[in-house]
Amino acid sequence: MNRDIKGCRKNGFTLVELMIAVALTGIAVIAIYRGYTAFSQTADAQEQIIEMQQNLRIGMFWVARDLRRAAMNNEEDENAGFIVSDSASVEFTMDIGGDDPLTGGQATSWALSGTWNMTQTLGDGDVDDLGERISYARLPNADGGFSLYRNDVNAGVVNEIITNLEALDFVYLRESTTSGLVVLPLLPLGTADMERVRLVQVSMVVRTTNEDYRYTNDEIYSNLQDNPILDKSTAPDNFRRRLLTSEIKVRNAGL
């Protein structure tokens, strides 16, 4: 019996061996944890980037859709056009007829039936119907950040289009008989200048919801005129951002 016990002791682990095994296990656990953490951070960053890019596309889609219809009118209505035109917000009217808050009725009838309702026109001679006076602006939201808001003034309905909007910029251009499109004077525009708007350059900067501490943002974001609209070089942080710019032709202006 004594010999068996002594044999077992000879075949067991020493304290040094146990310490080495524990250390190796700890190293493996730490490596696995760090790998998982890195993977989780990368996946979260990619998800944030996708959300940010979707915000940009959605925001630009709404602004472009409405701006293209600015100043739409029929022959009897010359009141449609820009009301507010400054660098941070825009407001305009259009005579699309009817009381459908999105399309003015006529386009809805066509979309549902595939044929035009010939008893209904695209314009009814005023800009007082739902969806005929629209404004866009960057305003504070309930989360302490900023969002893009669309205001259907006639309907009294304000919709939050996208969140995490860091910058919104409008540049207005008019046609020149000698040099094509030229930038209009200092904003906000006067009444005479607003009537000459033919193209609007829109710039948006959107950030991610969460910070990525592996990344430092110290970039300067500029509009199509190379004028800075957001400068992070003096106050860097860890948010990722994207800039999207677009030139939107005001199709009905001057008609």
What is the residue-averaged pLDDT of the chain? Answer: 81
Q: How confident is the model at residue 117 (pLDDT cuts 50, 70, 90)?
A: very low
- Tell me if 20 is assigned to some domain: no
- Residue 239 buriedness (CB in 10 A; 0-12 / 13-18 / 19+): buried
State both tokens at 117.
């309702």
pLDDT of 101 reads 46
User: Domain for residue 243, yes or no?
Assistant: yes
Q: Is residue 52 part of a domain?
A: yes
**Does residue 29 lie in a domain region?**
no
pLDDT at residue 185 tops 90: no
Q: Tell me the backbone φ, ψ of residue 3, rounded to 5 degrees.
A: -65, -40
Give the pLDDT mean for 189-195.
Answer: 83
Q: How confident is the model at residue 95 (pLDDT cuts 50, 70, 90)?
A: confident
For residue 128, is it within any domain? yes
Q: What percent of the chain has pLDDT over 90?
A: 42
Output 110 or 216, whichever has higher pLDDT.
216
Q: Three-class SS of residue 182?
A: strand
Q: Which helix (H) or strand (E) holds 45?
A: helix 15-68
Is residue 186 pLDDT above 90, yes or no?
no
Per-residue pLDDT for 213 more than 50? yes
158-175: average pLDDT = 94
**How confident is the model over 174-192, as a mean pLDDT?**
79
What does the alpha-carbon distance between residue 99 and residue 102 come to, in Å, rounded to a whole number? 9
In this predicted structure, the answer to whether residue 205 has a pLDDT above a threshold of 50 is yes
In a domain, 127, yes or no: yes
Token pair recorded at residue 252:
């009905």
Over residues 228-241, the pLDDT tens digits come to: 999 999 999 999 99
Structural domain boundaries enclosing 157: 40-249
**Domain tally for the chain?**
1
Residue with tokens 């314009």: 123
Is residue 104 included in any domain, yes or no? yes
Segment 122-148, tens digit of pLDDT: 667 788 888 899 999 999 999 999 999
Q: Are 147 and 141 in contact (CB under 8 A)?
A: yes
Out of 10-24, 55-69, 138-152, pick the least confident: 10-24
Amino acid identity for residue 121 in this structure? T
- Give the model's pLDDT for residue 239: 92
Name the phi and psi angles at 228, rounded to 5: -60, 135
Does the residue 194 lie in any domain?
yes
